[in-house]
A = this chain, B = another copy of it.
Amino acid sequence: MAARMKIAVVAPASRVAPETAEKTRALAARLYGAAAPEIHFHPQCFLSDGHFAGSDAARSAAFLEAANDPAFDAVWFGRGGYGSCRLDAALYGALNGSARKKVYLGYSDLGVVLARLYREGIGRPVHGPMPSDVNRPGGEAALARALKFLVENDAETLEPAARDGKKVLAFNIAVLSSILGTAHEPDFCGHVLMLEEVSEYMYRIDRALFHVTSSAHVRRAAGIMLGRCSDIPENDVDFGRTEEEICRHWCARAGIAYLGRADIGHDADNKVVPFGGAGAHVA
């Protein structure tokens, strides 16, 4: 029998509920039986420090420990929220050879970490569902997809544009806006850039897309695909444009190709997008 895959879960942003860990392991056991991956939730996931899953130092140390541990095949981020940009900037320079062989899976706020890993050519950063998604309506399907990607590397889990050898990237719009011009900004050159949003007023989506599409670096992308923008709060006056009209507007102004909708978002249908594309190598 093949060795079971070993997955470390850490939480560089907000806290993971203990029930989330139980549900995640139970689902993996149900789906894979004796061959289920070992999913180790680092105790840091359950710490609490105001908004965060422990102090900046605790979150940084847990991530570094999990990434550098040769016993683990993958680092799965437990939950988004907010806090990834507060990790110790020095940790990226301390990632070792084991860290360079791993898959890193998450999205939303974790885009900050995934982008930095991609920029530095460390491991295989991947946009996709996280354990906390199990708490969404239909969320078990999202986790099953993430596991199918991690355990089986199944191409059916991928966003269609990521299947055919294209270079791809996927980000939450507000998160991407917040890393432009920082040490986390990835190379967009020639990439299809998929963008999604949740719980932002339409005017904020508009402003963030102004910012993103104004970047000379983003303008080197092959084009932009718009994922789902969900739970948009009502404007006091209706904004008067849909998110797709907004995205087309800013792409046209910036001379960036608008390539249609992407099958990603803060929901159970969120597909997997390996940064760089399905065939991207792990160093």
Residues in chain A within 8 A of chain B (CB atoms)? 15, 48-52, 82, 85-86, 89, 174, 177-183, 202-203, 206-208, 210-211, 214-216, 235, 237-241, 253
Contacts and interface: CB of A to CB of B under 8 A. Distances in A.
B181 A241 contact: no
User: How many copies of the chain does the oligomer comprise?
Assistant: 2
Contact of A210 (B49, B178, B214, B239): B178
A210 B85 contact: yes
Nearest to A48: B237
Closest 3 CB pairs of A and B: A50-B240, A182-B214, A82-B203
Contacts of A178: 177, 207-208, 210-211
A49 B211 contact: no
Nearest to A237: B51
A181 B240 contact: no
A19 B253 CA distance: 35
Given A50-B239, A51-B240, A181-B181, A82 B211 contact: no
Contact of A50 (B52, B179, B210, B238): B238
Contacts of A49: 240
Contact of A211 (B182, B215, B240): B182
Nearest to A215: B181
A181 B211 contact: yes
Given A51-B235, A51-B239, A89-B253, 20 more contacts: A48-B237, A49-B240, A50-B237, A50-B239, A51-B203, A51-B237, A51-B238, A51-B240, A52-B240, A82-B206, A85-B210, A177-B178, A178-B207, A178-B210, A179-B211, A180-B181, A180-B211, A181-B211, A182-B211, A182-B214
